[in-house]
Homo-oligomer: A and B are copies of this chain.
Amino acid sequence: MNFTISPIGVIHTPFENLEGMPIQPTGALDVTGSIVINEAYEQGLRDIEGFSHLILLYRFHCSSGYDLLVKPFLDTEKRGLFATRAPRRPNPIGLSVVRLVERKGNVLTIKDIDVLNGTPLLDIKPYVPAFDVKTVTAVGWLEKNQEKAGSLKSDNRFIEG
């Protein structure tokens, strides 16, 4: 059941390295970036300018391997990997919801982007409140820490084991 993923484009951001990068879009408010979609896919962007927010799936291209227990940026205890958003995962796919500012041909200008410059883009989906906004009753170990994501910065802990 293995399959091969090929990037559909590249995400450009001001973040050249992990040290000091925001750890979530909440820490990257108003940070502007751009997405350059391979020209072969440009037609698939039709109608996207109607959406204020997009879901980006991308490759955590600077992470390799994984541990099943990890100490997240937002905690001091080790947590189960799938209860975290850590980048070193069996399938190193990241997800961020960003604001769409404008589209010009195969280039999208976006805001609130929290990924490394040069990150390979795998997919874009429209963010739709009816599908994607849930009334949450519990956020586990993040309960006391989720608001800190706006100020905490990344370090190099997830580059290697």
Chain B residues near A41: list those with CB within 8 A.
68, 82, 90
A107 at interface, CB cutoff 8 A: no
Residue of B nearest to A132 (CB): B97
Within 8 A of B (CB), among A42-78: 43-53, 55, 57, 59, 61, 68-69
Q: Please name the residue on chain B nearest to A57 by beta carbon.
A: B93
Check if B80 sits within 8 Å of A141, measured CB to CB.
Answer: no
A90 to B120, CA, bound (A): 14
Nearest to A38 among chain B residues (CB) is B90
A131 to chain B, nearest CB (A): 5
Determine if B136 and A127 form an interchain contact, defined as CB atoms under 8 angstroms apart. Answer: yes
CB of A43 within 8 A of CB of B69, answer yes
**Chain B residue at minimum C-beta to C-beta distance from A50:** B140
